[in-house]
Amino acid sequence: MSRTATIIWQTIGIVLTLALMCGAVAWGYAMRPIAEVCPALTYRILDSDQRCYLTEGELDSLLRQAEVYPVGKHIDMLAIHRIEDVIRSHPMVARAECYSTPMYEVRVDIRQRQPLLEVRTPIERYFVDTRHTIMPWREEIKDQVIIATGAVGPQAACSSLAEMAEWLQRDSYWRERIRYIHMRTPQNAVLIMHDDDQPQVVIGALSNYQYKLTKLRTFLDNSADATQDKHYRELDIRFRGQVIGRK
C-alpha cells in the first residue's frame, strides 16, 4: 500500500474515532435526566389519620420565607438539612425528616405535636403536648384532652398538671369521667366531671393524686347509689383514708 493510501486510511480512522466519541458524549447527554433540578416537593404527614393541623400551602410559605423552597432549584443547591430545620420550626411539628429521591424530588415526612392538656386562664389559652412543652392554641385542634382552668401557670402546666393529665389519659375509668382540673389556688385543685350531675371532687394539692383517685374509685364502687341519693355538691378526698361528702 502506498504512503498516500496509508495516510488516507489513518485519517479515516481518526475521523471515525472522533465521530464515535462525539456520539458517545451525545448519547450520554441525551440519557441523563432532562434537567438536574428539583421537579417536585411532597409532604407526608404520617399521623394525618389522627389529626391534621398543617397545610401544604402553610409549609410552602414557610420554606419560601426562609429561601429554601426546593422546586426549580439545581440539585447542588438543595439544602436538605436546612429544609428539615425550617419545617421543624413550625409550632405544630414534632419531627420532620427530609430526603431526595433518585429523580431529585424532595420529600418531607412529618409527625405533628400531640396535645395532652388544654390550659384556659383569664389571660391566656394554650396546649401542653405529650413532651410536656407548650404549644399554641388553635381552633382546628379537636383532640379531646383534659382542660386545666383557674390559677394555672406555665411551669405547673408543663410539670404536675401534664403528669396528671397523662395518667388520666391512660386510665380508662377516669378518662371517661374527668373533664376539668380547676385550680382554685396553685395548691388547691377541684376536679369537674363530664356529667354535670356528678359532684365536684376536691383533691387539694396534686401530690399523691393517684392514691387519692384510687381511694375515691373504691368509695364510688362501693357506695355509688348512696352517694347519688344524698345529692352531694362535692366530695373531698384531701385527707388520708377519708372521702367527705358536702351538700
| pLDDT on residue 36 | 86
Q: Are residues 125 and 161 in the same domain?
A: yes
Q: Residues 73, 164: one domain?
A: no
Instruction: Say yes or no: 223 and 196 in one domain.
Output: yes
Q: pLDDT of 65-92, one tens digit each? A: 999 999 999 988 899 999 999 999 999 9
Looking at 112, 146, 166, the residue that finishes a domain is 112
pTM, 2 dp: 0.76
Model confidence pLDDT, tens digit, residues 107-158: 999 999 999 999 999 999 999 999 999 999 998 888 899 999 999 999 999 9
pLDDT at 104 over 80: yes
What CATH number does residue 62 fall under?
3.10.20
Number of domains in the chain: 2
- Give domain status of residue 172, yes or no: yes
Q: Does residue 202 share a domain with residue 168? A: yes
Domain for residue 14, yes or no? no
Domain that holds residue 60: 41-112
3-state DSSP of the chain: CCHHHHHHHHHHHHHHHHHHHHHHHHHHHHHCCCCCECCCEEEEECCCCCCCCCCHHHHHHHHHHCCCCCCCCEHHHCCHHHHHHHHHCCCCEEEEEEEECCCCCEEEEEEECCEEEEEECCCCEEEEECCCCEEECCCCCCCCCEEEEECCCHHHHHCHHHHHHHHHHHCHHHHCCEEEEEEEECCEEEEEECCCCCCEEEEECCCCHHHHHHHHHHHHHHHHHHHHHHCCCEEECCCCCCCEEEC
